[in-house]
Structure 1
């Protein structure tokens, strides 16, 4: 708590003094579509239009280039949808020459709150959508970029549904790879004997929520034998200020030759992105671009980024 109070006091002073990097977006963005690095405004703009793709996504006439041969499929998180989750990543990737696609999963069509159904069923929906993207673009593989559950759920597709043969990279933003304690609530519930009754009720509305708890049978099965599969490159990006996937290190993957783990504050101490803002954060978005195109790395910007509301400048 003391660290947060100090940050809150220091950030405005540094900004006023002009001591912060002023880079508003990752280097190299062409700028054809407006990129919204503020999760809150993007969420509001997209929440009630779940059937509409975010800016820059779902151009089914797009053909991948030699520079970017793999289409990018964006996988939203729990309680989010294809539109409200991706007002930064979708236009940014399109501006940088990628064919970009987004879809809804885990809820009824037209429901703005998606991603609540069983993770295995959602992974099947991802499998169908990837096949549609590959058929439309003529590409051999896709790259997957996911937020929260959208970073973890594709691993079921890769492990059990043949996705490894169709996927070159998986980039996760605050992915729930090893589950969440929900700030310790699940452990407290276990100790006082209330977790199972609470989960029985929660399961009726959000099976995916229960399956993402630390120690769930679903995660135990998914992670058995290793959390990655051969042939796929993984990048797991997390923030120390994640209040949803707790502890925040549960969003990382075990060290391996095909795994790159990134904690945003190791790159920029001014970045206070939380679980939501990480999906729009200009620093995290640069990491996404670098993960998708490691042969042409971009410099990592450093600037004040606030939880939910995004860049201060």
Structure 2
């Protein structure tokens, strides 16, 4: 192609091609060096920001408000997140509500990251929100009796009384599309640190469903063996509240055991 050009025009074309090659190489270098948004940097574990508490299925905030009040008394900035549709609608819409609450909390406080406590289905909402590109603004996620792998109650309701099983109910059934996607690969993506607190006496969410791969697992009875804590008791029980406070403290999540029972009870 260049053979048909005059010597002067040939030199111009060669210069343009050379500059284009240099520009492409520089751009490639810049792109290669730019940090990936998919690789969030862990939040400073020693800096305590606001705490957002996410209700479970049904969206009731009363029990979580008791926990929020306990956190506030301990000096933390704690807010219970209101969920659309009384927490029975699409859990991804609830994750959007958590996103709005987190944005407002960070703007209000100027902190770089939040802590999130999710009770029951609220733990699934928290995980959905983190997975949706928000791992870099979360320091810690604590779930309380959350059905990470579904609950048979939702499965039975969907099969026997589908009209009485709203969207969130169907999403919480074992093997649902939402849970299958959420649990595919890494259940606890990098960025925040993760803690799962649950009770062996749970008759709503099977204890094995509350296990979260990669999280610090804390059955209530591993701290106080005789604790009579049911599913609905988790946010309001004094022992559990103290466990949550311990796990939201500065530093990495802490192992708790029988030696801590008297101190936390």
- Under a length normalisation based on structure 1, what TM-score does the superposition of the two structures give? 0.64
CA-to-aligned-CA distance 1:104-153 (integer Å, 9 cap, x gap): 1131xxxxxx2111001110111111101101111100000110011111
Q: State which of 155, 160, 170 in structure 2 corresponds to 1:210.
A: 170
| C-alpha distance in structure 2 between counterparts of 1:179 and 1:157, whole Å | 18
Query: Where do residues 180-191 of structure 1 align in structure 2 (5 Å cutoff)?
Result: 180-182=151-153, 186=155
The answer to whether residue 92 in structure 2 is matched with residue 120 in structure 1 is yes
CA-to-aligned-CA distance 1:4-27 (integer Å, 9 cap, x gap): xxxxxxxxxxxxxxxxxxxxxxxx
Query: Which secondary structure state, in structure 1, belongs to the residue aligned with residue 107 of structure 2?
Result: helix
Query: Which secondary structure state, in structure 1, belongs to the residue aligned with residue 201 of structure 2?
Result: coil
Q: State which of 136, 150, 157 in structure 2 corresponds to 1:165.
A: 136
Q: State which of 125, 144, 159 in structure 2 corresponds to 1:153.
A: 125
CA RMSD of aligned residues (A): 2.4
Query: Which secondary structure state, in structure 1, belongs to the residue aligned with residue 152 of structure 2?
Result: coil
The answer for the alignment partner of 1:69 in structure 2 is: 48
Q: Which runs of 4+ in 1 moved over 4 A?
A: 194-197, 294-299
The answer to whether residue 209 in structure 2 is matched with residue 250 in structure 1 is yes
- Under a length normalisation based on structure 2, what TM-score does the superposition of the two structures give? 0.75
The answer for the alignment partner of 1:86 in structure 2 is: 64
Structure 1 runs not aligned, ≥5 long: 1-65, 108-113, 304-310
Point out the structure with the larger helix share. 2
Deviates more, 1:85-94 or 1:114-123: 85-94
Aligned residue pairs, count: 216
Does the CA contact (< 8 Å) of 1:240 and 1:248 recur in 2? yes
User: What is the deviation of 1:269?
Assistant: 1.8
User: What is the deviation of 1:195?
Assistant: 4.9
The answer for the alignment partner of 1:177 in structure 2 is: 148
Q: How has the CA–CA distance of structure 1 residues 156 and 295 changed in structure 2, closer, same or farther, with 3 Å as cutoff?
A: closer
Structure 2 runs not aligned, ≥5 long: 1-44
Query: Which secondary structure state, in structure 1, belongs to the residue aligned with residue 231 of structure 2?
Result: coil
User: What is the deviation of 1:249?
Assistant: 1.6
User: What is the deviation of 1:252?
Assistant: 1.6
Which of 1 and 2 has higher RCO (CA within 8 Å, sep 6+)? 1
| C-alpha distance in structure 2 between counterparts of 1:195 and 1:128, whole Å | 30
